[in-house]
Amino acid sequence: MERQRRNTRSKQLMMNLLDSSQTALCHEEIDRLLAGQIDRVTIYRILQGFCDQGRAHKITGDNGKAYYALCHDCNAEEHHDDHLHFRCTQCRKITCLDVPVAVPALPTGYTASDISCIVSGCCPDCHNRI
Ligand SMILES: [Zn+2]
Ligand SMILES: [Zn+2]
Ligand SMILES: [Zn+2]
């Protein structure tokens, strides 16, 4: 019972974190932001759970690191995160952009189940700093 309550609280904490973040977050950032409130293993488990439930999606950066951002109209059966992801080469942040990505015409025999598109460059924050 106690364990269950703590689990619900941890999920809520992480949901709020992802919700309030303007950018996608990686494990290290989440760990840092939570300042030890949730152990690393639990963070991994909860993030995986969010992805399975269609509440968050994973973006793999060009550095091979996994980043997570909230989904908008996904569910446990299907993800619809076919929007552009932007990676800033200055601050290294990954942002979901509300720009749809079209699935390219694939050769016969190939079916797309997921599309990921990352554009690298300079974000508005860093642009203003220069
Ligand atoms: Zn999704
Ligand atoms: Zn930037
Ligand atoms: Zn996204």
Q: Which helix (H) or strand (E) holds 10?
A: helix 2-20
CA-based nearest residue to 63, from 108, 28, 37, 39? 28
Average pLDDT, the chain: 92
Distance between CA atoms of 75 and 28, rounded to whole angstroms? Answer: 26
Are the beta carbons of 24 and 69 closer than 8 angstroms?
yes
* pLDDT band at residue 1 using 50, 70 and 90 as cut-offs: low
Here the tokens at position 124 are 């508005």
Among residues of the chain, what percentage have pLDDT more than 70? 99
Instruction: List domains and CATH numbers for the chain.
Output: 2-129 (1.10.10.10)
pTM: 0.88
Phi, psi (degrees; rounded to nearest 5) at 111:
-120, 135
Ligand nearest to the CA of 50: 1
- If you average pLDDT over residues 65-83, what whole number do you get? 92
Ligand nearest to the CA of 73: 1
What are the Cα distances from residue 41, in Å, to 10, 13, 87, 88, 93?
12, 15, 26, 28, 23
Would the pLDDT of 130 be above 80? no
Q: Residue 39 C-alpha to ligand 2 middle, in angstroms?
A: 29
Would the pLDDT of 114 be above 70? yes
